[in-house]
Amino acid sequence: MAIPCAHFMASEKAVLENGILMGSPTSMASPVILSQDELKKIAAYKAVEYVESGMVIGLGTGSTAKHAVDRIGELLRQDLDTYPVVDLAIDGADEVDPFLNLVKGRGGSLLREKMIESACKKFIVIVDESKMVKYLGGSGLAMPVEVIPFCWKFSAERLRKLFEYAGCVAKLRTFPENGEPFVTDNGNYIVDLYFKKDIGDLNAASDAILRLPGIVEHGMFLDMATTLIVAGELGVTIKNKQKN
Ligand SMILES: O=C(CO)[C@H](O)[C@H](O)COP(=O)(O)O
């Protein structure tokens, strides 16, 4: 997706591509087109400015986090040291609500990412503006739940019933080419939940999901992100929150 952006000058875009972020947006600039991937890169490079020599960082998966990995690789080649203490995690997200709660796991790595990101002192989320939602589930896209393969149909039905009030549809994640189930890096399946309405109290929803036998983890990352970096057509927005 290409996003027309009247607020970056062509020369600023070139500077961005060299890893240095822009100054103030200018409304007098000649319009340039920033793709969704370029916005992801802007958010990722901004996050890497938080990395200091001596930190060990947790890095997530996905196309946004990949830009952070690439940038850190570049910096490492320029002599950034590392030490075995995890201070900072940087990762993308599928949805971000106004309170910095997230949906993650459309790439399928929710459990390991949640383990790392809950253990870090600081967790920076990097997204392009398409990921911002009024409430989790609000994009109409999947909210993933990792389930034990044994009796997965039973687990899927219990999940659907739990959120019947929100018009929930629960689908096993499969590969479109052969219909085989997607298997996570922990050997489990993913049941994707789709909602027609707001599910309401997220902590209550989280507790209810995790109480079901056969459920391993869900993709709601509640009260975990400490910094959100959003790259959009008007520039970069940074929001901070204390970690609980
Ligand atoms: O949670 C994830 C993987 O499990 C990803 O961080 C999330 O899907 C965002 O991916 P992208 O940056 O490619 O849009």
Beta strands 86-91 and 56-59 are: parallel
Query: Which is the closest atom of ligand 1 to the Cα of 127?
Result: 12
- Catalytic residue (one of 38, 95, 113, 146): 113
Would you state the structure tokens that stand for residue 199, as one six-digit string?
């599910």
Residue 162 Cα to ligand 1 middle (Å): 25
* Nearest C-alpha neighbor of 21 from the set 45, 54, 56, 47: 45
pTM of the model: 0.77
pLDDT per residue of the chain (244 residues) written in tens, 0 to 9 = 333 333 333 333 433 443 333 443 434 455 678 999 999 999 999 999 998 877 878 888 899 999 998 888 787 766 565 444 458 889 999 999 999 999 999 999 999 899 888 888 899 999 999 999 999 999 999 999 999 999 999 999 999 999 999 999 999 999 999 999 999 999 999 999 999 999 999 999 999 999 999 999 999 999 999 999 999 999 999 999 976 6
Ligand 1 contact via 139 beta carbon (within 6 Å): no
Ligand 1 contact via 110 beta carbon (within 6 Å): yes
Distance in angstroms (rounded) separating the CA atoms of residues 54 and 63: 26
Q: Cα–Cα–Cα angle for 224, 103, 143, nearest 5°? A: 145
Residue 113 annotated as catalytic: yes
Q: Please provide the size of the chain in residues.
A: 244
**Looking at domain 143-219, which of 3.30.70.1450, 3.30.70.2190, 3.30.70.260, 3.40.50.300 is its CATH number?**
3.30.70.260
Tell whether ipTM is more than 0.95. Answer: yes
HEC readout, the chain: CEEEECCCCHHHHHHHHCCCCCCCCCCCCCCEEEEHHHHHHHHHHHHHCCCCCCCEEEECCCHHHHHHHHHHHHHHHCCCCCCCCEEEEEECCCEECCCCCEECCCCCCHHHHHHHHHHCCEEEEEEEHHHECCCCCCCCCCEEEEECCCCHHHHHHHHHHHCHHHCCEEEECECCCCCCECECCCCCEEEEEECCCCCCCHHHHHHHHHHCCCEEEECEECCCCCEEEEEECCEEEEEECCCC
Residue 232 Cα to ligand 1 middle (Å): 17
Q: Quick check: 217 and 115 in contact, CB under 8 A?
A: no
What is the CATH architecture assignment of 10-132+223-238? 3-Layer(aba) Sandwich (3.40)
Ligand 1 contact via 58 beta carbon (within 6 Å): no
Query: Which residue spans of the chain are classified as CATH 3.40.50.1360?
Result: 10-132+223-238
Residue nearest to atom 5 of ligand 1 (CA): 62
Residue 106 Cα to ligand 1 middle (Å): 6
Query: Which residue spans of the chain are classified as CATH 3.30.70.260?
Result: 143-219
Would you state the structure tokens that stand for residue 17, as one six-digit string?
């591509």
